[in-house]
């Protein structure tokens, strides 16, 4: 995403440089002026070329577009963010880590049918509910699954998710705005299984004895 944003900002800057003969020095000098650039366009319009040149106005417009693009990218990043939770398999009594996509543009929670089958989640039939994804493609849910899950801390929480077909692009599950408002801060920032694997595989210093903690980590990673 960082490279994509950098390319977009560079394209905006290059367009204004080429179209309005703006140089890097022009931009630098403009930035150094003791003015609020957010008011530059209004001032330029009211003064009709008084203290502000056309080039000044174009630089102000360019910087405003760059700022708007940066803000849009940041909002988009915050709208959809990858997190993790540990869920309870009610049949085996075991815990499994699944990936969660936070989507604050959604009002509902969804879990993939394959995850329901893999982790033996409890489900119930519901009246068909119709949804559409961001691309406008419609889909229908016929079941809801109950997920018992744990994030940060030890508390087990319970939430219901619509079961979506396996053709859905999400890996495991997606949570909407209401869930995120209530539990967003409880979601895991990283996959705990990956952290355990890294700890177990991390090379030990020569001459250092393996303690009981290392043995426990090795035993856990081999499960």
The most confident of the ranges 7-11, 47-51, 183-187 is: 183-187
The pTM of the whole model exceeds 0.95? no
Q: Give me the residues paired with residue 86 across strands.
A: 97, 150
Please compute the mean of the pLDDT values over residues 87-104 and round it to a whole number: 93
What pLDDT is attached to residue 217?
Answer: 37
46 pLDDT more than 70: no
CA 23 to chain centroid: 36
Residues contacting 47, CB < 8 A, separation 6+: none
> What value, to the nearest 5°, has the Cα angle with vertex 85 and ends 79 and 86?
170
Q: How far apart are CA 2 and CA 8, in angstroms?
A: 10
pLDDT at 177: 92
Q: How far apart are the first and last CA of the chain?
A: 35
Residue among 81, 100, 96 at smallest CA distance from 171: 100
What tokens does 31 get?
A: 């930035």
Per-residue confidence band for 40, with pLDDT thresholds at 50, 70 and 90: low
Model pLDDT for residues 144-158, shown as the tens digit of each residue: 999 999 999 999 999
Instruction: Give yes or no for a contact between 9 and 66, defined as CB atoms under 8 angstroms apart.
Output: yes
The kind and range of the H/E element at 158 are strand 157-164
- Is residue 205 scored above 80 in pLDDT? no
């Amino acid at each position: 995403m960082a490279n994509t944003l950098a390319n977009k900002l560079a394209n905006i800057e290059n367009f204004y440089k080429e179209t309005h003969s703006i140089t890097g020095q022009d931009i630098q000098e403009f930035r150094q002026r003791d003015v609020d650039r957010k008011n530059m366009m209004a001032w330029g319009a009211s003064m009709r070329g008084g203290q502000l040149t056309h080039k000044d106005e174009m630089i102000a417009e360019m910087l405003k577009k760059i700022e708007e693009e940066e803000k849009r990218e940041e909002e988009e990043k915050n709208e959809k963010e990858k997190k993790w939770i540990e869920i309870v398999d009610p049949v085996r009594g075991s815990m499994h880590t699944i990936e969660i996509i936070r989507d604050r543009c959604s009002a509902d929670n969804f879990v993939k049918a394959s995850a329901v089958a893999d982790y033996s989640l409890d489900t119930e039939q519901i009246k068909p509910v119709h949804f559409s994804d961001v691309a406008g493609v419609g889909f229908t849910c016929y079941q809801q699954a109950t997920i018992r899950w744990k994030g940060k801390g030890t508390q087990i929480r319970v939430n219901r998710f619509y079961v979506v077909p396996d053709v859905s692009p999400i890996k495991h599950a997606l949570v909407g705005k209401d869930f995120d408002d209530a539990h967003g801060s409880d979601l895991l920032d990283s996959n705990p299984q990956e952290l355990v694997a890294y700890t177990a595989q991390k090379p030990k210093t020569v001459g250092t004895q393996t303690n009981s903690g290392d043995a426990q980590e090795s035993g856990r990673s081999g499960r």
